[in-house]
A and B are shown apart, each in its own frame.
Chain A
Amino acid sequence: MVSAKRIYSDFKVYSRGYLRNKFGLFFGLIFPVILIMIFGAIFSGGGSGTINVYAQNQDAGLEVSGQVLNYSTQYLEAINFTGTLKVITVDNSLNFTEYMSKNSIENGLIVPEDFTASYVMHQPVNVTVYTNPSGSTGGTVLGIVGAINNQFNLGAFNGTTIISTTQETVGAQESYIDFLVPGLIGFAILVNPMFSLVEISSIYKKNKLFKQLSLTPLTKMEWLIAKILWYIVLSSASFLLMAAVGIALFGANITLTVWLIPFLFLGPMLFASLGMLVGTITNLLRLPGVIGNAVTFPMMFLSGTFFPIAFMPEYLQTFAHVLPLFYVVEGLNNVMVYQNYMGAAVDLAVIGVITLVIFVLAVKLFKWRED
């Protein structure tokens, strides 16, 4: 028979010990907030969101009836006008490729000296675009330069635009910080209970604390429930802190509703149970650290915590669907970013089933005593 009094006593002792341990407190509460501040500052605050393109304009222009035409300037202005690329001019006296290499520049272009003359006379002319294949912005630069080329080509023959596009946004306009807050909340929900329970199960076994506790009326299920309750409290506190920092410092546009409560309840329960299960298996196989890290780290990075999984190759996206954290992060996104409560309910159902299975397995396999 499960006793609420024993659970409360164990909860009290464990939480007090946790709060007295500065190291635990740092990783439980402060570290996720630091992460949100770092990632928030990098991706949301201060940055212009444009890609720098260094350009050397070698075009001399063309004198027609005493008037100097210079289409290269218009061309570069058109690139700048897109708002996505920012043109930074490089002096013509410099060797452009050397300059790029020396200054670790990722994207650049050279407008040739006969640009205006060729354009006016409808002769082919080539703009050289330099991109770094290992960089992530090359594709964007090539795409935009290509689009400007088309625009100029069309203009040269007085063509008219037949197909055009109009941009409409769906729902609220999301920014990176909006995804980062739920992602990092998922990260905190995973990391604290998971690492703690894996570690505890190894240390308590080694120190014979489990044996000692087995000599009291506390049952292993009560012990695990007390840990789960503590990590629900810790995750909720961590959630409030991160949401506050996200909103106050970075203007995160996130929805806070009662729909978040089941995630803050089931998430820690899932990962505390999984930590206990992994710790138990680790002890059985005598592989300290290996299994815990092998389970936790892929989940930490591949579940959409730091970036949406759509950025990943397809096979990794498929793999992400077997990671329990994926459903927590997706569910939090559904609630906090998209207000898609139907989707969140599906995520909750998946989490509920996984949690139940893992909790039962953890309690069954984890032993106080030895045969």
Chain B
Amino acid sequence: MLPIEVSQLRKNYGDLKAVDGISFTVKEGEVFGLLGPNGAGKTTTIEIMEGLRERDGGDVKVLGLDPWKKGYELHKKIGVIPQEFTFFEKTTPREAIIYYADLFNIKVDPDQILKDVLLEESTKTYFDELSGGQKRKTGLALSLVNSPELLFLDEPTTGLDPNARRAIWEVIRNLKAKGKTIILTTHYLDEAQQLSDRVAIMDHGHIVAMGTTSEIIQKHGSGERLTIQGTQKLADYIKTNTELQVDYDKTRGEIVIPLQKKIDALAGLAAAEQSGLEWGQIQTRQDSLDDVFVKLVSEPAGEQGEMAVEQKPKKKGLF
């Protein structure tokens, strides 16, 4: 039995098809990322799997249970951090853990859980006085109280500063190392790339791509290419004197040569040299997950802060 089996899942809000017949499975110990812009259907999908929302069609099994009909039973086995996690204002993280343990009727060591989520320093601070990162860590701590086999993390780092995000990543990596199965939704593509074994990209209620990030890039990306700064005249020269496909990006003043083989780059550069024309910076690059994402989703940038991608240099280099 797989921890998660979703088949032809559908959910409508009036005329809006929030989730439109998606199917996927998640293996034990896997970190599965659900990506997509706002309104793609990620949270609806995750809430249906958590048993918080009723589906309109399709079949969903989580740890072998129907999450809506057997929600009460399921909730004892899963851990959840809802989107924008919040808690009772005047409760400390330690008290919150003891409260959850009492509700689940289990004995826990609150200090150990706080240590596991790197929150030892704030055990006596009221929730409303914690930083954004500490609040999410409290959410993580609570999701671990019942020692769940399966964790749902719905945008666990949205709105956090880079340091807080990395601290949460560390906690998630530790959980992964302990063999927990994790479903992660995120706006941050680098986060999905860093943490997920596989990802599914959702758009308008559909899964538009699924697999490991490298599989998705390979399948939906445009492959490796050589770019040379130069003129249209140089692009025409290379095209005439080689068998390469040569495109010219006027706005950037860049000659773009898709590389079938790495050796094609040498042919392109040799032709440029033979032309006697001026040419500038050269580089090879490959599509990243965010390039592929932008290609796949129809509305890549919505509100402010949507689709935030932590800036990092793209793969660069001469060969």
Q: Which residue in A3, A217, A369 is a CB contact (below 8 Å) of B53?
A: A369
Residue in chain B with minimal CB distance to A369: B52
Complex Cα spacing A3 to B102, Å: 11
Q: Which interface class (under 10, 10 to 19, 20 to 34, 35 or more) fits B?
A: 20 to 34
Q: Which residue in A3, A215, A217, A369 is a CB contact (below 8 Å) of B80?
A: A215
Assuming the A-B contacts A369-B51, A370-B53, are A217 and B103 also in contact, with contact meaning beta carbons closer than 8 angstroms in the complex?
Answer: yes
User: Which residues of B31-86 have CB atoms within 8 Å of chain A's CB atoms?
Assistant: 47, 50-54, 71-72, 75-76, 78, 80, 82-86
Residue in chain B with minimal CB distance to A20: B90
User: Contact between A211 and B52 (Cβ–Cβ < 8 Å)?
Assistant: yes
Q: Is the interface of A mostly helix, strand, loop or mixed?
A: helix
A208 CB within 8 Å of chain B: yes
* Chain B positions within 8 Å of A207 at CB level: 84, 86
Instruction: Output the least CB separation between A199 and chain B (Å).
Output: 13
Q: Which residue in B50, B78, B88, B104 is a CB contact (below 8 Å) of A13?
A: B88
* Chain B positions within 8 Å of A20 at CB level: 90, 126
Q: Is the interface of B mostly helix, strand, loop or mixed?
A: loop
A16-46 CB contact bits vs B (8 Å, 1 = yes)?
A: 1100110000000000000000000000000
User: Contact between A215 and B50 (Cβ–Cβ < 8 Å)?
Assistant: yes
Most interface-central of A12, A212, A370 (chain B CB within 10 A): A212
A216 CB within 8 Å of chain B: yes
User: Which residues of B179-219 have CB atoms within 8 Å of chain A's CB atoms?
Assistant: none
User: Contact between A17 and B105 (Cβ–Cβ < 8 Å)?
Assistant: no
Residue in chain B with minimal CB distance to A214: B52
Q: Which interface class (under 10, 10 to 19, 20 to 34, 35 or more) fits A?
A: 20 to 34
B89 CB within 8 Å of chain A: yes
Instruction: Output the least CB separation between A259 and chain B (Å).
Output: 36
* Chain B positions within 8 Å of A371 at CB level: 53-54
User: Contact between B95 and A216 (Cβ–Cβ < 8 Å)?
Assistant: no
User: Contact between B87 and A209 (Cβ–Cβ < 8 Å)?
Assistant: yes
Assuming the A-B contacts A9-B102, A211-B52, A370-B52, are A17 and B83 also in contact, with contact meaning beta carbons closer than 8 angstroms in the complex?
Answer: no
* Chain A positions within 8 Å of B76 at CB level: 217
Residue in chain B with minimal CB distance to A213: B103
Complex Cα spacing A46 to B197, Å: 80
* Chain B positions within 8 Å of A12 at CB level: 99
A208-232 CB contact bits vs B (8 Å, 1 = yes)?
A: 1101101111100000000000000
* Chain B positions within 8 Å of A218 at CB level: 103
* Chain A positions within 8 Å of B51 at CB level: 369
Instruction: Output the least CB separation between A149 and chain B (Å).
Output: 67
User: Contact between A217 and B126 (Cβ–Cβ < 8 Å)?
Assistant: no
Complex Cα spacing A286 to B41, Å: 23
* Chain A positions within 8 Å of B105 at CB level: 3, 5-6, 217
Most interface-central of B88, B95, B105 (chain A CB within 10 A): B88
Most interface-central of B52, B76, B89 (chain A CB within 10 A): B52
User: Contact between A208 and B83 (Cβ–Cβ < 8 Å)?
Assistant: yes
User: Contact between B99 and A9 (Cβ–Cβ < 8 Å)?
Assistant: yes
A350-371 CB contact bits vs B (8 Å, 1 = yes)?
A: 0000000000000000000111
Residue in chain A with minimal CB distance to B86: A207
B91 CB within 8 Å of chain A: yes
* Chain A positions within 8 Å of B99 at CB level: 9-10, 12-13
User: Contact between A5 and B91 (Cβ–Cβ < 8 Å)?
Assistant: no
B279 CB within 8 Å of chain A: no
B226-261 CB contact bits vs A (8 Å, 1 = yes)?
A: 000000000000000000000000000000000000
* A/B interface sample: 16 pairs, CB < 8 A: A3-B105, A9-B102, A17-B90, A20-B90, A21-B89, A208-B83, A208-B86, A209-B87, A209-B88, A211-B47, A211-B82, A215-B52, A215-B75, A217-B105, A218-B103, A369-B54
Closest 6 CB pairs of A and B: A9-B102, A20-B90, A17-B90, A216-B103, A207-B86, A215-B75
Extra pairs beyond A9-B102, A369-B53, A371-B54 (16, CB < 8 Å): A3-B105, A9-B99, A9-B103, A10-B103, A17-B91, A20-B90, A207-B84, A208-B83, A208-B86, A211-B52, A212-B87, A214-B71, A215-B78, A215-B80, A217-B105, A218-B103
